[in-house]
Structure 1
């Protein structure tokens, strides 16, 4: 009780002392009312992009950022107005939202009348804060609509047939050594999804031939043929020679020189060749050839480190194929160059290119690259959706003669995807594009891809996102994408029925672009003839080299993530991915390699 009393007394004394001191503090001047915050709406975006073109979104979503002179300022409401030009915004001829009470300033949906295709819309916004302060109208921004996907598309799908698409009656021969279970050879293949596949397998200690047919991805086993009389049990995993002849509707097979089967089928009449394994299957192929009527259509030892197929691992014994692999022959399928000349006969108000591909593409106009996208149109499920890109090329046109050019590559459409091999969507790439020119006198003209385009095999003998590029600079004609080039030796592009136009949609995601250049930090020579350019970090990009050497000289560029202790490139972690570029010089002085 005594301790509690003293504590209370001390507390009371402290309160009295503090209260007694309060009158000694002189009263200050009255606090001034805070100044009204200055508001500005800035950084306007449409679909999270600045001044986008080629939008097919029915209700584009708008956004802005608020700058204020005070802290803690919150938006209380906004007003958006949209017009067909910035000059009409004071009396908007498209839409005025009126004042909307909302703190939302991102992804605000446009709620006006239906937008017209290929039309530019100007817009601006005004905001109010919770204290009732209003901003002025923002600096106008804009967006431009596209062609409404397939509904507004005015272009064909064009390309260049593969040499192997014309192969009909031929004999394919190879030496195969099974490492585990089975391995197969594709023939008369129009991509892996439509082909014959003759499988050499081991089942319960017995060698068998299992002919298959695949139609639109669906497999049918035609029969099983025991090879016990030709391949004894003690030679199941030794090399054997398979020879398969397709003539009309009859396919005849020999193993080690002995005829073992005759199969009749009408499913496929022409196409390429390839190799296949599935699951745990594994085999090594060598001495591969395709002949017809005494003529060699293709031949490769597969023991020299060169891989003409879309997958597999080169070894001294041959090309090892294993796991879920569909390796189609790619060595004869140079990616195409396409071109089209046209004229401009007036003053151009606006010009846009709308372009896409089944594969990847790069456009040029009058010798200058169009846009800065890399690997356009990007990877989608092409069975469901194919994105198109829009480019402003108003400044690249010239009065009189002009020329459009296109490089076309396999990309994800016909090239490798992970370990699934090539031709997952199709066997070769296709381009579809339209240039729309609007003249100041109100006329419009369209230059679309069609059968009038010209095509030839280009410098890319192979272009694969997993395995790399084989590029022969001697095959790139000077001036091929400029006006006046003589393309008489080129062929008409094929118009291809690929059933993809109705799947075309405008691109909505940011494109792949070059964002940084990394110079090599060190240069070493761990072994004679081999130089290591170390960039100092892992990166995703492409190589730029300045090369000088005699025509026909080939430079091999191998990509790796880390180095071995001896300074050489460590590539074991890449497994079957070759990640290798082969670049053949054209001669005639220094050349900068800066390719797609």
Structure 2
């Protein structure tokens, strides 16, 4: 391919900026504290502030910033009562630490920033933003309250207490937590719009509390505070062995509201022994099995001040639980997101009434119904229909995934669960009174409230559907923790899946707060030996094995978080965990060879029907383990370098050399062949630089030969797949990577798309070509692991790559592939949106890019490029702004 490169007028204009352009202003926007907008609970004594720059002026970077902080937004505008003001000459605009006087627990702080750029423009002061500090154990006056006797009922308990406030209210802040799940109310109004609170953490180590501004819900006069509890992950069924009450056998509520009155006085409203309790209409709720709701048992108005029928309610029991394990929530809460109308309502060959929402999603169905008292409506949920078109739930194993509603007498109501969620596309409706119409049902997606950061689209509609499926696999499995699947009796935070998918996840959505929270549990549940459990939070009580590719989440995700978000605190917080994991492997590896213990291996790799010529894709588990041993050691070295731990860096560099030597002695022949001649073996050995440099290219060539021998099909599983196309591209085989990506027959990424998938499947052939199913005991249709290809698509088709942590430096390097004539993608980085869009038309490759202020980028065009000086180059270094490039491709 011969390529001639043309700089566009847009790029040439960048070199000679007119005075008119210089006059344009710069603005500051998207202020965040610890990755969050206006957070209500910051526990760090030195919160870190970030902002983005907005300007039409090209080649713009920040020269300095000025921050001012106070406790009153009016005072800040007039420069009064400023508690901290700082000016620094620096380009740093992300994660700038607070360095002023000590911050007070529970206090709200307001801040704004302005900057000066390299063109001597000074921005106006930004909009005023805020954060609120968390509270400490000594700030709690509320008591944990529970049912009066042993908590043996499956029904959800209700709690309430009336209060009379005699003064005008200036502000009110609520702090709420529970053992179990809670929904809290003030005067009948729900507190907040989050679900499944207080979230799932390693409850044995810490339980989150949530902070809410409830000023608008309280009033002068009579008020009622109320709450309802569910079993959730704390007390309900969890794990494979039907275990219940894994964390505790008693649901309990903790609620405290600090009221500030207009006259400057203060009052605390809190759970105590004076609260009352009763059982409500939620007869049972379970994460796996669903919910049973009896509308006849509703206590009408029970959360309102006007309710007077609580004379038969019982006094609560005060529990002597500690406050020491309470931590403020630092992650995005689960919220209602997209809503789906009914696609169609049909009868199956077996006669079931089935509703199709057209998308495999996670959440629940809102049901509108009215009928005779006691009418029972059962909603069952499934991901797929079988070959004959019948409702299929065998792959759910023992999970019922079923919501049951018992109607009150001819009162129209809208029902949805309180403490359970389902994974489904199809709904079976039984017992509905009258004719069921599309207007009676709405599917609601619920997932952690992570802003979308990435977009990706090409001229290939199958690839676009694949991207859609990847995103919806992420949405469905990022419900507070990164689960493997959202529907069967599992839904656990499998570490292998999370590490494999992290890079793709960080392109699609802002997962910074999501993984900060989860990594706390990785560290908390790590064994004293340094091994990492298979799932986090750990409910499997797994032994001290520590499986390769699963336990490596301890190094892979922290490093990924640092590189995507530029967050060194992640490395500081997780460094001891990273080190403990590597040291655990070393302790199990005589002569630095990890060839013992339990390993999952390359989970769910392609298994051919026949193996007459010895090509079966079974990769030696210990070969895999040695590769990940090296990888985790390298990431620890990287972290030590960033954190200035020079002695550790040197020690682990020496260790890494011995690990690779041990690999070569054990698994590599003198001529460069691996003892496992599989795609995964070559992919991991090449990805992690396990081979001598002089043998790497021939190993990559062997990988291509293997792929060709399978008819351009992959054979990799959970551990090999994320790196497969990256390795091919790195060693000059991008064409083969495209062949794999665009392969439409099994096994491939597009095979499920052709079969009608709307999410990523657990298995390459979850539905076989003849319409039958894979092994039902392990056959999820919403599993994100194989969606890890999204990382390669963003980085190579669109060409968006970080060249420095946090995208301070960017590389735009699109790579052409057969049959794709257009591609575009964007990513909202910590500095702003970077975008890359190209089209190939009549032999002309046209690229448009946009680079955010305060960053620079290297643009690398396909092929060799002739420049105006007669030489050849295929790259250009640019500052912020929008640019166009062209090259002629023959």
Shorter-chain-normalised TM-score: which range?
0.5 to 0.7
Q: How does 1:236-251 map to 2 (within 5 A)?
A: none
Equivalent residue, structure 2, for 1:68: 55
Q: How does 1:555-594 map to 2 (within 5 A)?
A: 555-594=377-416
Taking the aligned partners of 2:276 and 2:235, their CA distance within structure 1 comes to: 22
Taking a change above 3 Å as real, the CA distance of residues 560 and 592 of structure 1, as seen in their structure-2 partners, is same
TM-score where L is the length of structure 2: 0.43
Q: How does 1:8-407 map to 2 (within 5 A)?
A: 35-89=22-76, 90-91=78-79, 93-148=81-136, 150-161=137-148, 332-407=153-228
Deviations 1:1-54 (A, max 9, x none): xxxxxxxxxxxxxxxxxxxxxxxxxxxxx9965624521111212222222223
Taking the aligned partners of 2:64 and 2:377, their CA distance within structure 1 comes to: 63
Q: Determine if contact 2:41/2:211 at 8 Å carries over to the other structure.
A: yes
Q: How does 1:407-556 map to 2 (within 5 A)?
A: 407-420=228-241, 421-485=243-307, 486-499=309-322, 501-526=323-348, 530-556=352-378
Taking the aligned partners of 2:275 and 2:93, their CA distance within structure 1 comes to: 47
Aligned-pair CA distance for 1:144: 2.0
Taking the aligned partners of 2:259 and 2:150, their CA distance within structure 1 comes to: 36
Q: Determine if contact 1:349/1:438 at 8 Å carries over to the other structure.
A: yes
Taking the aligned partners of 1:73 and 1:159, their CA distance within structure 2 comes to: 58
Taking a change above 3 Å as real, the CA distance of residues 507 and 531 of structure 1, as seen in their structure-2 partners, is same
Q: Determine if contact 1:418/1:466 at 8 Å carries over to the other structure.
A: no
SS of equivalent residue, structure 2 residue 296: helix
Q: Determine if contact 2:151/2:250 at 8 Å carries over to the other structure.
A: no
Taking the aligned partners of 2:56 and 2:238, their CA distance within structure 1 comes to: 53
Q: Determine if contact 2:149/2:317 at 8 Å carries over to the other structure.
A: no
Taking a change above 3 Å as real, the CA distance of residues 163 and 583 of structure 1, as seen in their structure-2 partners, is farther
Aligned-pair CA distance for 1:379: 0.3
Taking the aligned partners of 1:529 and 1:398, their CA distance within structure 2 comes to: 54
Taking the aligned partners of 1:45 and 1:116, their CA distance within structure 2 comes to: 20
Equivalent residue, structure 2, for 1:298: none
In structure 2, list runs of 5 or more residues that go unmatched: 1-15, 419-890
Taking a change above 3 Å as real, the CA distance of residues 393 and 31 of structure 1, as seen in their structure-2 partners, is closer
Equivalent residue, structure 1, for 2:747: none
Taking the aligned partners of 1:514 and 1:466, their CA distance within structure 2 comes to: 19
Equivalent residue, structure 2, for 1:268: none
Aligned-pair CA distance for 1:353: 1.0
Taking the aligned partners of 2:62 and 2:151, their CA distance within structure 1 comes to: 65
Taking the aligned partners of 1:130 and 1:31, their CA distance within structure 2 comes to: 13
Taking the aligned partners of 1:349 and 1:46, their CA distance within structure 2 comes to: 25
Taking a change above 3 Å as real, the CA distance of residues 32 and 489 of structure 1, as seen in their structure-2 partners, is closer
SS of equivalent residue, structure 2 residue 172: strand
Aligned-pair CA distance for 1:376: 0.6
Taking the aligned partners of 1:164 and 1:436, their CA distance within structure 2 comes to: 29
Q: Determine if contact 1:81/1:92 at 8 Å carries over to the other structure.
A: no
Aligned-pair CA distance for 1:479: 0.8
Taking a change above 3 Å as real, the CA distance of residues 397 and 128 of structure 1, as seen in their structure-2 partners, is same
In structure 1, list runs of 5 or more residues that go unmatched: 1-29, 166-331
Taking a change above 3 Å as real, the CA distance of residues 402 and 530 of structure 1, as seen in their structure-2 partners, is farther
Taking the aligned partners of 2:321 and 2:84, their CA distance within structure 1 comes to: 43
Taking the aligned partners of 2:175 and 2:151, their CA distance within structure 1 comes to: 31
TM-score where L is the length of structure 1: 0.64
Taking a change above 3 Å as real, the CA distance of residues 551 and 31 of structure 1, as seen in their structure-2 partners, is closer
SS of equivalent residue, structure 2 residue 86: coil
Larger radius of gyration: 1
Deviations 1:56-89 (A, max 9, x none): 3211111111011212201122111111212322
Taking the aligned partners of 2:306 and 2:24, their CA distance within structure 1 comes to: 62
Aligned-pair CA distance for 1:476: 1.5
Q: Determine if contact 1:82/1:92 at 8 Å carries over to the other structure.
A: no
Q: Comparing 412-421 with 71-80, which one deviates more in the overlay?
A: 412-421
Q: Determine if contact 1:162/1:333 at 8 Å carries over to the other structure.
A: no
Deviations 1:110-134 (A, max 9, x none): 1111111222211111111123322
Taking the aligned partners of 1:54 and 1:32, their CA distance within structure 2 comes to: 46
Taking a change above 3 Å as real, the CA distance of residues 123 and 48 of structure 1, as seen in their structure-2 partners, is same
Taking a change above 3 Å as real, the CA distance of residues 85 and 590 of structure 1, as seen in their structure-2 partners, is same
Taking the aligned partners of 1:99 and 1:532, their CA distance within structure 2 comes to: 63
Deviations 1:413-449 (A, max 9, x none): 0012232421110113111011111100111111111
Aligned-pair CA distance for 1:529: 7.4
Aligned-pair CA distance for 1:573: 0.8
Which one has the bigger helix percentage?
2
